[in-house]
Structures are given as structure tokens and as C-alpha cells.
């Protein structure tokens, strides 16, 4: 099976766009059974560092439907660590499917108020966990930070080795870690980054700064800046929200590409934005690679009526 698969434009797209553009999908969601998409790549250097530091407990942060938390639990299950997760918001008697999996995998869940959660490593809850366990290695929310980005820089080598003839790559963004890692790789072409968050235009500078740290002397800020295209206005109503137009698009995309499912938070929005640009013939590239970052387990937080892949 090839990890690169062709994408068919939905039926409503103009014939001119069909003739003008080629878009393929790198199926990162098929790479790793427990931590699909970018999740394993963001975790791997953190796990190596935890081992080097002889940590006995690994902890991280995330929301009740977090793809990162889910991958964290699955990845640590066979490893000799105590796994701890700080979960944003109060834990309900009925756990979300993601949190239930984590509990079944042996992860200890610590609920956090939203105000406390925003303090991250400076929160009283983190201090309490450190005091309780005494030997904790912390992974940032979403597997972020320099080590998470380093894993995605390595990932760019794997992707480019399969086909380095694309004019542009496209990736979705939450924390920006994956985008920074991909951008820092010398062989990455123009990189279009679509944020799933509302009101985050400043994230471009965060991505650029982290990429510059990772690229060392191979690329300067000017070169990195020239190949980074950041889109902050394609969130379709906000994080994890769906506009009516996005819902219509997902249904049409699922009919055209029933075996290439998009996730409900990230890839659906970035693919929607690209297809719209192609349909209007304003996308400036002939050959585009869309990098699937996983997250399909997130559909369990939506009804079957919302999920177009249940009926396609």
C-alpha cells in the first residue's frame, strides 16, 4: 500500500480545476496503529528524553476529546512508565470515548479547571502531581515544543523520500508544532498551514521562530519566511465547529473519496479551503501534497448524522 494516494475533486468542482490541478494525500493516518498521523512523530523524541532522564512517570495535557491524549495513552500502555494526563475541564461520570480508552489503557486522569489548565506548567495541579510522584517527565500539550517539532522535521524526510516533486505541501495546525518541524526541513517545498483555531494570526510567528531554532544554519529566517504561508481565517466558526458550508463539503468529499476520510477538527477545514481555491482556479500550484495528520478517532465526539463516512 502506498502512503500517497490521489484525491478526486468533488463533483461540484469545475472541469477547468480538474484539468489544472493534481492533489494527492499523504496518509499519515495509516502510519501507526496507536499514534496515527503526526502523533507518533511528536512523541518519539519526548520518549527518548524521558528514558535518558530515567523518568518513571510521564505526564501531559489535553482536552476530553484530545487526539494527543488518546495517542499518548495507547503509546505508553506497553512501556514501563506510569502515565498521567491532566484533562481540561471537570471529568464527567460518563467519560468521553477518548478518555474511556485512556482509562482502559491505565492512564491516570487528573481533571483541571479551565483557569488552572491555562497556567500549564505553572499551575498548582502540576505542582501537586510533581510532589505526589516525585519523578515526572512532562510532555507539552499536543506533544509540542522543540522535541515534538524535531520529530516532525524527521517526518518530512520520510514524506519527501516517497515523492519530492510536489510544488507545495499542506498541513493543518493546532499548536503549530508539526508545521514548524516540516518547515525546518531543507527539502520541504512551499508549506501552506491552515489553523483550526479562531483568532490566531500570531501563531505564524511562533511557527517561524521554532522552525528557525530547528533549522540551525541550514536555513535562515528569510528563507523560512518565504516558504511559509499561514492561513488563520479558515476555521469555519471556531475550533471543532462546522459551518453549514463545511458540512456540505465533507459530504461531497466523502462521496468522491470514500476511502480517504478527513478528521472532524483539522483536515476537513484545510482540505475545504484548498478545494475552494482550486475550484475558483486561484490555487497557485499545479501539484500539491496534502499531509493527513490523523485524528479520525475524534469523530466519536460527533453524531453519526454529522459523520459523512458512516453513510458513504
Query: Is domain 56-134 classified as CATH 3.30.950.10?
Result: no
Report, as an integer, the average pLDDT of 16-20: 92
| pLDDT given for residue 94 in this prediction | 86
Domain ranges of the chain: 4-34+145-311, 56-134
Q: Is the pLDDT of residue 223 over 90?
A: yes
Distance CA 87, CA 64 (A): 6
pTM over 0.85: yes
Q: Which of 103, 41, 108, 43 is nearest to 72 (CA)?
A: 43
CA 208 to chain centre: 17
pLDDT digits over 247-262, tens only? 999 999 999 999 999 9
Q: Is the pLDDT of residue 312 over 50?
A: no
pLDDT digits over 76-122, tens only? 999 999 999 999 987 777 899 999 999 999 999 999 999 999 999 99
Under the banding of pLDDT at 50, 70 and 90, the label for residue 268 is: very high
| pLDDT given for residue 1 in this prediction | 66
Q: Is the pLDDT of residue 311 over 80?
A: no
| pLDDT given for residue 8 in this prediction | 97
Q: Out of 3.30.450.20, 3.40.50.300, 3.40.50.2000, 3.40.50.1100, select the CATH number for domain 4-34+145-311.
A: 3.40.50.1100
DSSP 240-283: T---HHHHHHHHHHHHH-TTSPPPTTTHHHHHHHHHHHHHTT--
- Sign of the CA dihedral running 42, 44, 49, 53: positive
Identify the bridge partners of residue 60 per DSSP, sorted by sequence position. 85, 139
Amino acid at each position: 500500500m502506498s502512503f500517497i494516494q490521489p484525491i478526486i475533486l468533488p463533483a461540484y468542482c469545475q472541469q477547468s480545476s480538474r484539468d489544472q490541478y493534481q492533489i494527492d494525500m499523504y496518509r499519515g493516518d495509516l502510519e501507526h496503529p496507536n499514534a496515527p498521523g503526526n502523533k507518533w512523530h511528536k512523541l518519539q523524541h519526548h520518549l527518548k528524553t524521558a528514558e535518558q532522564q530515567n523518568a518513571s512517570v510521564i505526564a501531559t495535557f489535553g482536552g476530553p476529546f484530545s487526539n494527543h491524549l488518546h495517542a499518548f495513552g495507547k503509546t505508553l500502555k506497553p512501556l514501563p512508565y506510569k502515565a498521567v494526563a491532566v484533562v481540561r475541564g471537570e471529568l464527567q461520570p460518563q467519560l468521553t470515548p477518548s478518555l474511556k480508552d485512556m482509562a482502559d489503557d491505565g492512564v491516570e486522569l487528573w481533571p483541571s479547571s479551565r483557569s488552572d489548565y491555562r497556567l500549564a506548567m505553572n499551575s498548582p495541579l502540576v505542582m501537586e502531581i510533581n510532589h505526589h510522584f516525585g519523578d515526572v517527565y512532562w510532555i507539552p500539550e499536543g506533544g509540542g515544543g522543540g522535541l515534538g517539532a524535531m520529530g516532525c522535521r524527521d517526518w518530512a524526510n520520510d514524506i519527501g523520500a516517497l515523492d519530492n516533486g510536489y510544488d507545495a505541501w499542506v498541513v493543518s495546525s493546532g499548536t503549530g508544532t508539526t508545521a514548524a518541524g516540516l518547515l525546518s526541513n531543507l527539502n520541504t517545498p512551499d508549506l501552506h498551514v491552515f489553523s483550526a483555531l479562531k483568532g490566531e494570526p500570531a501563531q505564524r510567528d511562533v511557527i517561524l521562530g521554532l522552525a528557525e531554532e530547528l533549522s540551525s544554519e541550514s536555513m535562515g529566517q528569510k528563507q523560512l519566511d518565504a516558504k511559509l504561508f499561514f492561513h488563520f481565517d479558515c476555521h469555519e466558526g471556531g475550533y471543532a465547529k462546522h459551518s453549514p458550508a463545511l458540512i456540505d463539503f465533507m459530504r461531497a468529499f466523502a462521496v468522491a473519496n470514500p476511502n480517504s476520510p478527513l478528521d472532524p477538527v483539522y483536515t476537513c477545514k484545510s482540505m475545504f479551503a484548498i478545494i475552494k481555491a482550486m475550484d475558483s482556479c486561484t490555487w497557485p500550484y499545479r501539484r500539491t501534497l496534502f499531509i493527513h495528520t490523523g485524528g479520525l478517532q475524534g469523530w466519536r465526539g460527533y453524531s453519526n448524522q454529522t459523520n459523512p463516512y458512516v453513510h458513504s
